[in-house]
Structure 1
Amino acid sequence: MPLARRYAALLLVAPLVLAGCAGGADEASAPPSDAPPCPTSPVEVVVSVDQWGDIVSELGGACANVTTLLASSSVDPHDYEPSPADAAKFEGAQLVVVNGGHYDEWAAKLAAGSAPNAPVIDAVAIGDPGHEEHEGHDEEGHEHDEGNPHVWYRPATVTAVADAVTAELTTLSPSARDYFAQRRAAFGEDLKPYQDSIAKIRASATGKTYAATESVFDDMAAAVGLQNKTPAGYQAAARNESDPSPADLDALLGLLRDKGVDVLIFNSQTQGSVPDQIRSAAESAGVPVVEVTETVAPGTDSFEAWQVDQLTSLAKALGVPA
């Protein structure tokens, strides 16, 4: 099984969830408990994945009815096969929010067919406006492919998406302008522990090194100043959702056995013998293992809490303040 074939074990143990719910794990988000009543009719919003669904719900409060199509860690967004019922959820949508970057193309296609007049916020495009221009082109022998789509781990993109969502909600419901401005300000306050954690780790850990089983956390690792020492061949295999060659795997295992990095970033939603070997090599050598997840961890109160929990674990592993 390829390394990047995520959530395999969860999918096997939860067939009734996937088969019995047309949207896989769709969720109509309730307004945050601190959200005041809406002074007007709420905006109908559809979001592809929960990494952004939680943020949109916070920003919209009671003035947005937010439906998140995939709100479960048991479903892999890369390979999700939407149903006609999923398309129906887009009907009547006034705003659509997708991740982009080929991560959830199915959502963009459903929006185009079922909500052609709704504005679409694409997180990848917002975070990297030149992404589509250089996508698939070579530059000095390096193929950009589709880049790293896990942009919810890019702090600047989180802020840019929040601003874009607030702007679109305000355009769609001008009478709730002040309400949305207050929600954006509240979200900014909620982000402060997240931003403080990033700044504190960066102040103490810049130059420390890591290896990773996947690229999911790479943008955040860069934001806190870590250097990626994952062998290039292994990185390419993981990015292409294929098994690494024996030589590429040996290169990563050897790096860990020699304690050539300060931490191993481990996507705990990946199942299989390859990640198990990698984790075992790190633990045997005494390299701290920091678990991260691609989707919002079950039971987490908010996007910010999810991120801060992981940053706290990273700081502890690096031996720096969080």
Structure 2
Amino acid sequence: MHRIARIAIAALASVGMLASVAACGSGQSTSEKNGTIEVVASVNQWGTMAKTLGGDNVNVTSIINSTNVDAHDYEPTTSDITKLQKAQVIIVNGAGYDAWAVKAAQTANATIVNAAEVGGVNDGENPHVWFSADVRKAVAQAITRAYEGTRPDGKADFDKLNQQWRSKEDEIARKITETKRKADGEAYAATESVAEYLAGDLGLKDATPTGYTRATANESEPTPTDIKQFTDMLEAGKVGLLVVNIQEETELTGKIVTAAKSSNIPIVELTEQMPEQYDSLTDWMAALVDAFSKAI
């Protein structure tokens, strides 16, 4: 073989090896290569919204998917952190609910949507912001903007998906308006304030004893006086509804439920984490509004 030919072949081989190394070291996932946006949400209520708003244009991973897991106390795995670091869009709840996710997101090269911040809810306030109609709308807009910023060529599709989501949320708004007319400021009590925003949207007035509410919000034990005020109020029939977070059932909540049942006070059971049987946050909220409507 001529010397020039050997040099040419060696050069071509080197180029091929370099191209192979570059491809392996590019760090692009399959979804990035085909244009799909990698999205990671700390909890499934926001993850399902992210999927609804992104459709086939996104690949969404929700770190917490079960009502058996408490997001407040969750300890993320190395795999969870890796997922967050590789995401292009990250959705966290904020307001102290998922501090582990907020912290991990800060060092990621991603567009971050903090639901509480978007909805104007600060640390120290009720962090269960997905129960608020106003916050859901604000977060949906923020997610759509994040997608459009990541993939500008998909703007028309993202706008269409946003409009479809909004039409379903408008159906919930109509249910809320109808239920609010029925509620007419009716008093309710709750074992935990997880659904405070939803109850407010429905026009219900929180009559839970202040001491009890303060204790549960701070994750401390209510005093015997707090508990007696609560059960006496229920046994006297001073509220028209009891809201129970069945994700946090204890001997104390059992005593409260018993007091409500003794006075035939309707009970609405719910969880703070989205149950697995629902495919989307809007489906879950629609079901909860129906549950309140039947109880009022």
TM-score after normalising by structure 1: 0.80
Residue 252 of structure 2 corresponds to residue 260 of structure 1: no
Between the two proteins, what is the percent identity of the paired residues?
36
Alpha-carbon separation, structure 1, partners of 2:171 and 2:276: 20
Query: What is the deviation of 1:125?
Result: 0.7
Unaligned runs of 5+ in 2: 1-33
1:128 to 120, 129, 145: 120
Q: Partner amino acid for 1:43? A: I
Which residue in the other structure is 1:309 paired with? 287
Deviation of 1:298 (Å): 2.4
Give the Cα–Cα distance (whole angstroms) in 1 for the partners of residues 218 and 152 of structure 2. Answer: 44
Residue 302 of structure 1 and its aligned partner are, at CA, apart by 2.0
- 8 Å contact from structure 2 (residues 48, 279) kept in 1: no
Alignment RMSD (CA, Å): 1.2
Residue 69 of structure 1: how far off its partner (Å):
0.7
SS in 2 for 1:264: strand
Distance apart, 1:210 and its partner CA: 0.2
Residue 241 (structure 2) pairs with residue 249 (structure 1): no
Matched AA of 2:116:
V
Q: Map of 1:56-75 to 2, 5 A cutoff?
A: 56-75=50-69
Partner of 1:103: 97
Which whole-Å CA distance do the structure 1 matches of 2:198 and 2:83 have between them?
Answer: 32
**Partner of residue 199 from structure 2, selected from 212, 215, 221:** 221
State the number of aligned residues.
Answer: 263
Q: Please say if residues 91 and 112 of structure 2, whose CA atoms lie closer than 8 Å, have aligned partners that are also in contact.
A: yes
* Aligned: 1:177 with 2:155: yes
Q: How far did 1:91 drift?
A: 2.8
Which residue matches 1:140?
none
**Aligned-pair distance for 1:243?**
1.4
| Deviation >2 Å, runs of 4+ | none
1:281 alignment partner in structure 2: 259
Q: Which whole-Å deviations, capped at 9, do the CAs of 1:91-132 have from their partners, x for residues lacking one?
A: 32111110000100100111223x1x2121111111116x2x
Deviation at 1:202, TM superposition (A): 1.2
Correspondence for 2:216 among 215, 235, 238 = 238
Any idea what SS the aligned residue of 1:89 has?
helix
Deviation at residue 192 of structure 1 after TM alignment: 2.7
Amino acid at match of 1:213: T
Aligned to 1:307, the other structure's residue is in SS state helix
Partner of 2:73: 79
Q: Deviations over 1:64-94 (max 9, x none)?
A: 1111111111110000011211111123211
- Aligned twin of 2:188: 210
Q: In structure 1, what is the equivalent of residue 87 of structure 2?
A: 93
Q: Which structure exhibits the higher relative contact order, with contacts defined as CA atoms closer than 8 Å and separated by 6 or more residues?
A: 1
CA distance in 2, matches of 1:217, 1:99: 15
1:119 has 2:111 as partner = yes
Partner of 2:26: none
Matched residue, 1:17: none
TM-score (norm. length: structure 2) = 0.86
Q: Take 1:61 and 1:159, find their aligned partners in 2: how far apart are those partners?
A: 18
